[in-house]
A and B are shown apart, each in its own frame.
Chain A
Amino acid sequence: MMFWKVLKQYRVKGLLILISLPALVLPTICLVYILWQGLPVLNWQTLSGEGVTGFGLEHGMFGQIWGSLLLMLGANVLAAPVALGLALFFNLYANHNTQRTIFTLLHLLQSIPPIVYGLFGLFVFVHLLHLGISLLAGMIILAMIILPLLVLNALHALKAISVEQTESARSLGLNDMQLICRVWAPLAWPTMLTGQLLGMARALSETAPILFTATVFSGVLWPSSIFEPVTTLQTHIFYLAQEGGNAHVVSIAWGAATLLITLVLLFSLTALLLRRIDQHHRIS
């Protein structure tokens, strides 16, 4: 009798815990497994490539880290001003219909699979515009992928500013530029920076689009211009993982995965920390 009473009391809570458990457990298992496999491999020899041969491993991983970071930074540098401009246009000048169109378009762009972006980049930027497989082509295509995320985040940041503050500034005679610089920017920058960091994490984790447009398996350590291809951690893992029969090569792939995850987590956690600081500041 008591058992049924307790069961009745906690059935909804229990059911929800049961359903939501995989969302926490599975990624944790995945993360722990990657670290367990990758951490023992990460040493100076693997990173520098000293005494290792074959599969491009002799060059170590510094080139790949550099390539990934270059692509990530380039994509963000290209996408950030566009995202900011669009978000400001949306808030300042777009009428209801334009706002609806922009919103629909952004969600549509966000739902396009990255591999399709890669294919588009290969035909348009690599072949049609003759950019070749290059850092620039990769940056542009990654910028296109993270653009909706950055715009939606910037819109969220601007929406969080109270109507009263904007109206007060306007009623004091501030023009559009003064409103942006003196009211919106100081209030919105923490959220916008958070979005930027999340955009960096997203750009760092994309593989498919740069596979066709920016990267080669090996041979390039430090690209001398934006028109040269790069090697990246993401594609390095992809190539190495295909050598399933070679235990050493696969273990290096785990090492690269650990490095990549560390970088992505670094940006994501910084974003999370910034958001928390901003929320704390707003509450106090």
Chain B
Amino acid sequence: MHQQLNSIETVVKPVNKIEVEASRLCIDHLSLQLEGRAILSKLSTTLPATGITALIGPSGAGKSTLLRCLNRLYEQWQGDITWGGQSILNRDTDLLRRQIGLIGQKPAVFPCSIRDNVIFGLSRQQRRAIADEEIHEALKQAALWQEVEHRLGEPAEHLSVGQQQRLCLARALILKPDMLMLDEPTSALDPRSRDIIERSMMELGKSMPLLWVSHDLDQARRISNHILFMCDGKLIEQSDTESFFNHPKRIESREFMRWSVCDC
């Protein structure tokens, strides 16, 4: 019996490992120029397969631009970005965007009901066939269910900014993405809404990779497992959160933590 279990383990483990590796997002020498200005230069990293990776750095470091490259909102870059071992440029754009969700800084709801906003990204057939339970589940995952339970038919514009941001999250989650990118999702929110989203994302980070752009170093320390520190379009340092905050390797990282500016 013990032998049998061992053999199962040896069979199962490598498969899981391959699956985990396959769903990794790898960036290789990524450079981007916009209107003659270098926004990203020779950026290389591989994102962990699970957990929250905080992307930090001063304003204008290229953090949001990097997210837009990963989501193919920008495509004129050099280098390579692979997802599951395949260049994202060879993948179907619309499908890729469903797989790698992006939540922006400002919540953008559409002029329809809360329910219709949640299912906005689904195809027509999926919208018709979807069960209410799935919508409720997405809203629960985004920590919004209790607040909108009895008002799913109301216009989404009636929600507060914090609720709208969580609605955007539910809208991305119902697509069952393999990865989620968040561009300062809590910067426009009150502390309560921020805490709710942070908790919800930390729970979500246990099962999928999350790339979270943050200006707030305390938040990055609080929520993330890994840190990517960017400055002036370059990746300065990457490590796990504990090491980054306790033993930063680069002088730029120390400066940034101390003064919130970087002199690259």
Say yes or no for A186: interface residue by CB 8 A criterion.
yes
The segment from A2-10, A31-39, A131-139, A160-168 found at the interface with B is A160-168
Q: Which of B108, B121, B171, B172 has most chain A Cβ within 10 Å?
A: B108
**What mask results when residues 99 to 116 of chain B are scored 1 for a CB within 8 Å of chain A, else 0?**
001101111101110000
Instruction: Give which listed residue, B98, B111, B168, contacts A168 with CB less than 8 A.
Output: B168
CA of A175 to CA of B93 in the docked complex: distance in angstroms?
A: 9
| Residue of A169, A173, A174, A175 most packed against chain B (CB within 10 A) | A173
Bound CA span A174–B95, Å: 9
* Contact, CB under 8 Å: A167 / B94: no
Determine whether the beta carbon of B111 is less than 8 Å from that of A167: no
List residues of A (180-206) whose CB comes within 8 Å of B's CBs.
Answer: 182-183, 186-187
Is A175 touching B94 in the complex (CB atoms < 8 A)?
Answer: yes
The answer on a CB contact under 8 Å between A168 and B95 is: no
In the complex, which residues 145-169 of chain A have their Cβ closer than 8 Å to any Cβ of chain B?
Answer: 162, 164-165, 167-169
Interface of A is mostly: helix
**Which residue of A has the minimal Cβ distance to B96?**
A173
Minimum C-beta distance from B33 to chain A (A): 14
A162 with B108, Cβ < 8 A, contacts A170-B73, A172-B175 known? yes
Please give the distance in Å from A179's CB to the nearest CB on chain B.
11
A183 and B110 in contact (CB under 8 A), knowing A170-B73, A173-B94, A173-B175?
yes
Q: How large is the interface on B (under 10, 10 to 19, 20 to 34, 35 or more residues)?
A: 20 to 34
Kindly state whether residue B71 has any CB partner on chain A within 8 Å: yes
Q: At the interface, is chain B mostly helix, strand, loop or mixed?
A: loop
Cα–Cα distance between A187 and B112 once the two chains are bound (Å):
11
The answer, yes or no, to whether B145 is at the interface (CB within 8 Å) is no
In the complex, whether A171 has a CB less than 8 A from a CB of chain B is: yes
Q: Is the CB of B120 within 8 A of A173?
A: no
Q: Render B208-224 as a binary contact track against A, CB cut-off 8 A, 1 for contact.
A: 00000000000000000
Is A164 touching B108 in the complex (CB atoms < 8 A)? Answer: yes
Q: Which residue of B lies closest to A281 (CB)?
A: B111
Residues of B within 8 A of A168 (CB): 104, 108, 110, 168, 171
How many residue pairs link A and B with beta carbons under 8 A? The number is 56
* A residues less than 8 Å from B226 (CB atoms): none
Say yes or no: B94 contacts A171, CB within 8 Å.
Answer: no
Which of A167, A173, A174 is the one whose CB lies under 8 Å from B108? A167
Whether the pair A174, B104 counts as a contact (CB closer than 8 A) is: no
A167 to B64, CA, bound (A): 12
Query: How near does chain B come to A102, taking the closest CB pair, in angstroms?
Result: 19
Instruction: Point out the residue from B97, B105, B112 that lies within 8 Å of A172, measured CB to CB.
Output: B97
A187 touches B97 (CB 8 A): no
Complex Cα–Cα for A166 and B178 (A): 22
> A183: which B residues are within 8 A, CB to CB?
110
**A173 vs B121: C-alpha distance in the bound complex, in angstroms?**
7
Binary interface encoding of chain B residues 149-169 relative to chain A, with 1 for a CB under 8 A from any of its CBs, else 0: 000000000000000000010
Closest to B97 in A: A173
The answer to whether A171 touches B71, judged by C-beta atoms less than 8 angstroms apart, is yes
User: In the complex, what's the smallest C-beta–C-beta distance from B251 to chain A, in angstroms?
Assistant: 35
Known: A164-B106, A167-B73, A167-B104. A173 touches B111 (CB 8 A): no
Complex CA distance for A260 and B104, rounded to whole angstroms: 51
In chain A, what residue has the closest Cβ to B106?
A: A164
A174 touches B73 (CB 8 A): no
Task: Choose from A170, A172, A174, A187 the contact partner of B111 (Cβ within 8 Å).
Answer: A187
* A171, B97: Cβ atoms closer than 8 Å: yes
User: Which A residues touch B93, using CB under 8 A?
Assistant: 173
By the criterion CB–CB under 8 Å, are B172 and A172 in contact? yes
Contact A173 B104 (CB under 8 A): no
Residues in B178-227 with C-beta less than 8 Å from chain A: none
Q: How far is the CA of A187 from the CA of B110 in the complex (A)?
A: 9
Write the residues of chain B forming the contact surface with A, with a CB cutoff of 8 angstroms: 71, 73, 93-98, 101-102, 104-108, 110-112, 120-121, 168, 171-172, 175
- Can you show 24 pairs from A to B with CB atoms below 8 A apart? A162-B108, A164-B105, A164-B106, A164-B107, A164-B108, A167-B108, A168-B104, A168-B168, A169-B120, A171-B97, A171-B172, A172-B97, A172-B98, A173-B93, A173-B94, A173-B97, A173-B98, A173-B175, A174-B94, A175-B94, A182-B120, A183-B110, A186-B110, A187-B111
Q: What are the 10 closest A-B residue pairs judged by CB atoms, nearest first?
A: A172-B121, A164-B108, A171-B102, A173-B98, A168-B108, A173-B94, A173-B97, A165-B108, A164-B106, A164-B104
